[in-house]
Structure 1
Amino acid sequence: MQNHTDQFFVLTGGPGSGKTTLIEALAGEGYATAPEAGRNIIQDQMTVGGSALPWGDKALFAELMLAWELRSHHTASRLAGPVFFDRGVPDTLAYLRLSGLSVPAHMEKAAEHFRYNRRVFIAPPWPEIFTQDAERKQDLEEAERTFAALADTYPCYGYELITLPRAPIKERLAFIFEELDS
């Protein structure tokens, strides 16, 4: 497999922190993006009456998230230029830890093998924009715990976290572009 991982940029953070809006803005600027696994899996599972949900079979939900992230990684390896991911493989491991579940060896191996740029953008909890919906049932407290789990997990795999500012989308975009130029 070709190594393009220096061009793979992860945007992570707890739910309701504005990262998906930022990913959509990056796509609007013409950048390749990979959508979030969790929300899409939840929508699919709800449509088909499946149990792989965060409020159902958490381990199965994590397996589907991992499969989604690996597919996104493979798809991105065929693209030129930077690709921005709405979450990455280590998010799945953080989810399992947050849920009190053990991380299977194959997921540890996936986090070690399927790499991204060492600089990972993390969106902090942002109470002013946080909302719940049909797929996002977590409350703000769980969003904060998710952020903490992510902040603990990514460095374990050699990533440097860059905290995104709580700022309007144009300022967040400018921040990312400035970081990429440094």
Structure 2
Amino acid sequence: MKRYILTGTPGAGKTTILRRLAALGYATVEEAATAVIADQHARGDVEPWTRPSFIDKIVALQRRRQLQSITTAQHVQFFDRSPICTHALSTYVGHPISSALSAEIDRITREQIYDRHVFFVRNLGFCEPTAARRISFEDSLTFERLHEETYRAFGYHLVEVPAGPVSERVATIRTLISQLTDV
């Protein structure tokens, strides 16, 4: 089974691309951080990312979703972010890298969970705020660079998905997937 990560800055269109891939029949796994933020907001915590426990909640949900995805019969799966993204997030918000995050990165590396080719979805030139996304466009560019550096530091190869219409971005990914799975 091939598991591919979609990563990039907040607001780059990863979730939109993921949903389009799902509509085309691919197995997909949604981003965990947004779900954790929504859950914490529902509990009255308006800034959950300010607490180090936020990172461990993301890691736990990412792991649970990845393990649940094993039951799919699909040959190719797409994940909206990974524990490597969570490492970048932890660094960005100034939290120490927790033992849970380190252990999960060790596990996904040891078990070769994700393909080493990661789809890096480039920013669209803006970043719209949402309840979960409270970052300026300028700060999102810093976060984008941090993601690049983090993935490279862990030995992943970034495959560029340039800004453009969703249909073109999905076509780019599908073309690259056919090349990568034929290797």
TM-score, length-scaled by structure 2: 0.89
Deviation at 1:144, TM superposition (A): 0.9
TM-score (structure 1 length as normaliser): 0.89
Deviation at residue 51 of structure 1 after TM alignment: 6.7
Distance 1:67 1:51 in 2: 20
Q: Which runs of 5+ in 1 are unaligned?
A: none
Partner of 1:74: 67
Aligned AA for 1:69? Q
Residue 112 of structure 1 is matched in structure 2 by 106
Partner of 1:136: 133
Q: How many positions carry a matched residue from both structures? A: 174
Unmatched 5+ residue regions in structure 2? Answer: none
Once the two structures are superposed, the pairs formed by residues 29-48 of structure 1 within 5 Å of their partners are 29-48=24-43
Output one character per residue of 1:114-155: Cα deviation in whole Å (capped at 9) or x when no partner.
230110001122224x21122211111221111111101112
Q: CA deviation at 1:108?
A: 2.1
Cα separation, 2, equivalents of 1:101 and 1:48: 22
Q: Give the structure 2 partner of residue 149 of structure 1.
A: 146
1:171 corresponds to which of 139, 163, 168: 168
Stretch moving more, 105-114 or 36-45? 105-114
1:19 has 2:17 as partner: no
Partners of 1:164 and 1:44 lie apart in 2 by 30
Per-residue deviation at 1:52? 6.7
